[in-house]
Structure 1
Amino acid sequence: MGRGILLTANLPQLQNLIKRDPTAYKEEFLQQWNHYNSIRQIFKIHPDEQAAHFRELVAFISQVATCYPKETAEFPSQISSLLLENYGTLAPDTRKSLVQNLVMLRNKDVISSIELLKCLFPILPRTTSPTLRSFIRKTVLTDIRTANMRSKNHKLNRAVQAMLFGMVERGLEGEVLGDKGKLRATNGPTTDRSAHDGEEAMWAVILAKELWRKGIWTDAKTVAIIALACFHPVTKVQSASVHFFLGSDEEIADSDDEEEEEVDVRALQHRREINKKTRSGQKKLQKALNAAKKKRRNKTVPSANFPALELLNDPQTFAEKLYDMLNRYDKRFSLDHKILLMQLLSRVMGAHKLCVLGFYTYIVKYLAHRQLRVPAILVALAQSVHDLTPPDAITPVVRKLAQEFVHPGVGSEVIAAGLNSIREVCRRQPWSMEEDLLGDLIDYRKSRDKAVTAAARGLLQLFREVNPAMLKRRERGKEASMDLASGSQPLPFGHNADAAVDIEGLALLEDHLQKLRDEEGVVLADGDDDAAWEGWDVESDSSDDDSDEGWHDVSDDGGDIEISDSEDEAEKATSQPDAPPRVSTLATTKILTPADFALLNDLRIQEATKVVQNGGGSHAKRKLAELEASKKSLQGGEQEHAFVSENDILGPRKKAKADYSERMASIQKGREGREKFRSNKGKVKKEVASSSTNREKARNKPIMMILSSGAVRGKKKASLREKQQRLRKHIDHAKKMRR
């Protein structure tokens, strides 16, 4: 009897004994289990009574649940139902304790990940505690990452993605209020429901974005969840989803990212100067400075999320729905939100070469030089144009740009922005330009402003390359005139170029490999190709079973195989005096790896550099610049289409005034490799080093020491006669010095 009373009063001791010998202490456990059931019934009616004792019992049973699986089979479902049904009436400590014990049961494999997540997902948007919200979010992400660590857990992923879809879909039927309808939303009858749906969808987007960023989910279903959230009636959810596709690191107020705030280095150093100097304080300061330096070094520049754009399902429908929402709720959305939607719509149109012709009619009303954030709007316009966009839809837009931005009544920066915008539009669709308008725009190359001149020359150079026939004879240039004389014409709208016969510069790679064989005796074996594929992310997009079976043997009986005689024709052509460029046969004898293409690009850059050094002219310089730009884009993983920055629109501008950090960085850079600043008098300039004189030392004495010196007191007590003698002596000395 005494033993039972002792174990009942000391649950941690009973927990320790049960883990050592579950069979011997089963009766004591059943006693506590019955006690838990009775208190649970009371707790449902009066949550405030015996809350602390109820938490202790729940923690005890969670610890020993693996020892008695049959008796505690209903325990996880009881905790889950208690959380979901009575969450609003539970105390904060009780909520946190129940969630932690539920996570403990998952760690002990008492419940599955799906059962845990089905309970945590509904709680996440309802909780108001930042600590509990952060704990739930970390638990969800860790559980999914652990399940997909060795191999993809498709069952769990599909179940979680279905839950996230449901969290987003439950709020899609609401009314779109927009940024300007926040005040009306707070007074409406459906405020709680809409707010709950918004929070629920917001957390679905946050979790999907985090799993994508960590590389756990990289499939099309993750993109579909966030794409669906782009049409959610709550603008906060829309904004978070749009930022995912744009690749911008927009901070979300409710995301509770536990990232450190920006460290104020100047404030730390100032605090160190005024506080007491201690060794521990110096260590703390150095630790904070190192952390700030590491954070600045690891900070990445945001770039467009092109993989997500490529995985969109039915991008044409997605773009049309975006335009419909933008056009329908134009007066409800703020300007910043409308620009976000414009940027996403333009990226999708440029990436997939879509035609949403109503967008150009919509954007015309925002093309004014007094419009707020007009550079971002011009960027969205340029990104939406591609070679399949009908010129008839773009020509009015180009004319509007010229009328609003390019005329003598505006500043030089406005003219430069207008010319650069027209150039970016015409780069993607040259047939949208009119010949008379082009002549007027090119005349601005005679302007005195550097930015305007550069923009006009860029437009002139563009049409020298794409369609020189639209230029006057004296403006075409030598190379363009020669191309026109030879009969070359630009392809009309809707026509594609002929199929490529050879890879440009492939002969350079063939000569380079042959040179290696001749000089070093290198023999390229079959294993070299396998090694060249290392470090390159190459995955097969085919889902067929025959895709991994390797090469297939083709029978020679009954198959009509035509062998091209292009090599013979090329040899005949090279023997003629008017021979075309050499066609390399390397691609027919070797499978080119990504490493080969990288080497090919380097060889082309080296060849273009030699041509420029030998006086190749402006055409060679432009070709070299294009090759270097393509190399940077390949290294950065960016795609060629539709990424335009506001700097491309604004063009070169005067250098802005540097801030404090930039000025200090410039000062420190100028001090590199130089001795410490000090005066060159005394021992520095003398051949033999010596100390300073007494007169130099007297200059640095404190004022109170000088006032009490004999020389100063003697001057104060000097008589009139002594002052006259000192003045006469000074005058005589000055006369002698002038002689």
Structure 2
Amino acid sequence: MGRGVLLTANLPQLQNLIKRDPIAYREEFLQQWNHYDSIRQIFKINPDEQAQHYRELVTFISQVATCYPKETAEFHSQISSLLLESYGILASDTRKTLVQNLVLLRNKGVITSIDLLKSLFPLLPRTSSSTLRSYIRKTILSDIKVANAKSQNHKLNRAVQAMLFNMVERGMTGEVTGDKGKLRATALPTSDPDSHNTDEAMWAVILTKELWKKRVWSDSKSVSIIALGCFHPTTKVQSASLHFFLGSEEIDDSDEEEQSIDVRGLQHRREINKKTKSGDKKLRKQMKVAKKKRQGNSLSTPNFPAIQLLNDPQTFGEKLYDVLNLYDKRFSLDHKILIMQLLSRVMGSHKLCVLGFYTYIMKYLAYRQLRVPSILVALAQSVHDLTPPDAITPVIRKLAQEFVHPGVASEVIAAGLNSIREVSRRQPWAMEEDLLGDLIEYRKSKDKSVTSAARGLLKLYREVNPNMLKRRERGKEASLGIMSGTAPLPYGHSAEAAIDIEGLSLLEDHMKKLREEDGIETDDEDDESKWEGWNAETDSSESSDDEPWINVDSDDDRDIEVSDSENDTEKKMVEDAPAEPHSQRVSTLATTKILTPADFALLNELRIKEATKAAESTGGSKAKRKLAELEAVRKVSASDTRTDEFISENDILGPRKKAKADYAERMASIQKGREGREKFGSNKGKQNKAAPSSSTNREKARNKPIMMILSSGAVRGKKKASLREKQQKLRAHINKAKKSHH
């Protein structure tokens, strides 16, 4: 009796004893369990009554739940239902205790990760405490990361991705309000019934982005969650999703007030006010936000893997254009540029044709338009070799009319010429011959940036289509190419099929030499090791035993007749064509062996060796250029970089004069000049002297301006001196010189 009373009043002691011997203390546990069940019923009706005792019992049962699994089978569901149903009326301490004990049950293996996440996901948009919200977010991310540490936990990932997708989808039926009146809307009390769905969708996007950033998820299902967020009616969710694909960091709405704070003023107040750790932490956070805003999106790199994993990119691009066109009056310019940038990147990566985009963007092509460099970048990125030239020709004409004429500044002309060059690089057939002739005349301008832009356009068309240039503007190489009969392929035409791989005969000779050295006469080699690390997809449909391969004997070749008229014509043309005296050898290795990535790497090395020998023996410029090209290919393959060209605003603006240094750059320059110098004083006149000293007056007089010397008293005194005084000075100088010689 005494022991029971003592243990009832001391739950930590009872918890310790139960963990040592669960069977012996089962009755004491059941007593506490019944007590917990009674208080739980009371707590549902009045959460403020006996809240402290209820939290202690919940913590006690969570600690010993593994010792009595049958009795506590419904314990976690009771905590979860209480959190989800009565979260708004619970005290902050009670919420924190219940969440922590759910996590404890997961760590002890009482519940699964899915059970825990089903309880934590709905709490994120409802939690007002930043500490608890941060704890829940950290718990969710760490639990999914640990579950996928050794190998992909597909069951958990599918369940979590389904929950996140539903969180975004539940708010898709709302009305698009836009972000033009966000400052006015934030001043009013929020009574939106869909605000819970908005926060829910926002958290789904944030968690998916974090898991992608930590490389826990890298599949198409996670991309589809954020792709759905790009069409969410709430601009905040849209912006976060767009930033994910563009690879840039967005600034949350909670930091809007901090964006407008003057950094220098903030530092000044920090020096005056009382020094505290919280103040230092707040200052670092505000400085970080200001730095992100100052950098903007110019240094961001698009998230190419996520863009490539889009499901049905054509439909995705068309939906983006519909959102952009339909809600043009509701979105701010910054948000519209975000949509333009993503749409253009998707069009360029997947070679989509959303022709309405070019009609839409033409109204923003004016040199007075705000953020016009970003718009020009989006225009250039959307064009590719499959874009119809008829859709791009009006855009180029509009660029020339708005940006390239004598009535604007030289920076505007350079930006227009660079934009036309980037568009024409991707679709050369959209340019008109007369317009091209007028544009390249700007290479005679006196401004460096305009001249550079015009020369770049001229150089481009010398490479892609010199026929559009006048004869005197084509250059030597382009003229020789036209004379040899080489012409660019028209729009819609593809190059002919390759007959041979360049340099493949070198690989064939090398492999033949290795077989001879090893004494191998057959070509049956095991190439599985060379495919290691490469994902090769095989066709699952294999031929069955009922339909075996048909063997055709060589003697029956006479019975096979080819009646195709095109093949007969080609055969006759080959027979009638004169034989070339120096025809190159065509290797048959590709028809007898499947080339692996290791073979192609070896082929590149053999070609480099051959080109090196040719460059050393002949010493010609052509051989050296060939060697440089091969080495560049090897460098690109080693770095595993993308071949897609990324355009920045600097490519559009072109070379400019050095911009005025900001405060940070000036301070960095000052600190650099102070390196290696004493705290006070100057190093002038002390470098080449054994004993440090300042410069003399005579040394200073040598560097004085001539006008200061002419107006000095010594010079004016010489001018006014009499003949007698001049003779005395000269005699004194002669006597002094004689004494020095003696």
Give the TM-score category using the shorter length: 0.7 to 0.9
Q: Match for residue 312 of structure 2?
A: 314
Q: Match for residue 491 of structure 2?
A: 493
Q: Match for residue 5 of structure 1?
A: 5
1:650 to 642, 653, 665: 653
Corresponding position: 1:556 with 2:561: no
Corresponding position: 1:370 with 2:368: yes
Offset at residue 454 of structure 1 (A)? 2.0
Alignment map for 1:347-496 (pairs within 5 Å):
347-496=345-494
CA displacement, residues 580-609 of structure 1 (integer Å, 9 cap, x when unaligned) = 555444544654443554565567678889
Alignment map for 1:125-136 (pairs within 5 Å):
125-136=125-136
Q: Match for residue 535 of structure 2?
A: 539
Q: Distance in 2 between matches of 1:105 and 1:71?
A: 15
Q: CA 1:183–1:663 in structure 2 vs 1: closer, same or farther (change >3 Å)?
A: closer
Corresponding position: 1:56 with 2:56: yes
Q: Distance in 2 between matches of 1:596 and 1:667?
A: 54
Offset at residue 64 of structure 1 (A)? 0.5
Alignment map for 1:37-436 (pairs within 5 Å):
37-183=37-183, 185-186=185-186, 191-252=191-252, 302-436=300-434
* Corresponding residue SS for 1:654: coil
Q: Among all aligned residue pairs of Structure 1 and Structure 2, give the percentage whose two residues are the same amino acid.
A: 68
User: Does the 8 Å contact 1:574/1:582 carry over to 2?
Assistant: no
Offset at residue 238 of structure 1 (A)? 0.7
Which letter maps to 2:124? L
* Corresponding residue SS for 1:86: helix
Q: Match for residue 639 of structure 1?
A: 642
Which letter maps to 1:641? D
Which letter maps to 1:457? R
Gaps of 5+ in 2: 256-262, 276-297, 561-566, 678-682, 695-728
Offset at residue 502 of structure 1 (A)? 2.8
* Corresponding residue SS for 1:317: helix
User: Does the 8 Å contact 1:350/1:642 carry over to 2?
Assistant: no
2:621 to 603, 613, 616: 616
Cα RMSD (Å) of the superposition?
A: 4.4
* Corresponding residue SS for 2:551: coil
2:597 to 594, 602, 606: 594
Q: CA 1:217–1:522 in structure 2 vs 1: closer, same or farther (change >3 Å)?
A: farther
Q: Distance in 2 between matches of 1:326 and 1:10?
A: 65
* Corresponding residue SS for 2:419: helix
User: Does the 8 Å contact 1:376/1:646 carry over to 2?
Assistant: yes
Q: Distance in 1 between matches of 2:542 and 2:667?
A: 60
User: Does the 8 Å contact 2:248/2:302 carry over to 1?
Assistant: yes
Moved more, 522-531 or 445-454: 522-531
Q: CA 1:508–1:239 in structure 2 vs 1: closer, same or farther (change >3 Å)?
A: farther
Which letter maps to 1:90? L
Q: Distance in 2 between matches of 1:460 and 1:180?
A: 43
CA displacement, residues 282-341 of structure 1 (integer Å, 9 cap, x when unaligned) = xxxxxxxxxxxxxxxxxx974222221121111111111100100111111111111110
Which letter maps to 1:220? S
User: Does the 8 Å contact 1:201/1:229 carry over to 2?
Assistant: yes
Q: CA 1:84–1:542 in structure 2 vs 1: closer, same or farther (change >3 Å)?
A: farther
Q: Distance in 1 between matches of 2:516 and 2:348?
A: 47
Offset at residue 403 of structure 1 (A)? 0.9
Which letter maps to 2:648? S
Offset at residue 46 of structure 1 (A)? 1.9
Q: CA 1:513–1:670 in structure 2 vs 1: closer, same or farther (change >3 Å)?
A: farther
* Corresponding residue SS for 2:497: coil
Which letter maps to 2:621? G
User: Does the 8 Å contact 1:573/1:579 carry over to 2?
Assistant: no
Q: CA 1:556–1:20 in structure 2 vs 1: closer, same or farther (change >3 Å)?
A: same
Q: TM-score, normalised by structure 2?
A: 0.76
Count of aligned pairs between the two proteins: 642
Q: CA 1:638–1:589 in structure 2 vs 1: closer, same or farther (change >3 Å)?
A: same
Q: Distance in 2 between matches of 1:447 and 1:573?
A: 55
User: Does the 8 Å contact 2:178/2:327 carry over to 1?
Assistant: yes
User: Does the 8 Å contact 2:615/2:627 carry over to 1?
Assistant: no
Q: CA 1:157–1:412 in structure 2 vs 1: closer, same or farther (change >3 Å)?
A: same
User: Does the 8 Å contact 1:412/1:449 carry over to 2?
Assistant: yes
* Corresponding residue SS for 2:194: helix
* Corresponding residue SS for 1:193: coil
User: Does the 8 Å contact 1:382/1:642 carry over to 2?
Assistant: no
Q: TM-score, normalised by structure 1?
A: 0.77
User: Does the 8 Å contact 2:399/2:416 carry over to 1?
Assistant: yes
Which letter maps to 1:9? A
Which letter maps to 1:544? S
Q: CA 1:350–1:134 in structure 2 vs 1: closer, same or farther (change >3 Å)?
A: same
Offset at residue 509 of structure 1 (A)? 5.7
Q: Distance in 2 between matches of 1:626 and 1:251?
A: 43
CA displacement, residues 449-470 of structure 1 (integer Å, 9 cap, x when unaligned) = 2222222122112112221111
CA displacement, residues 17-52 of structure 1 (integer Å, 9 cap, x when unaligned) = 001111111111111111111111222222222222
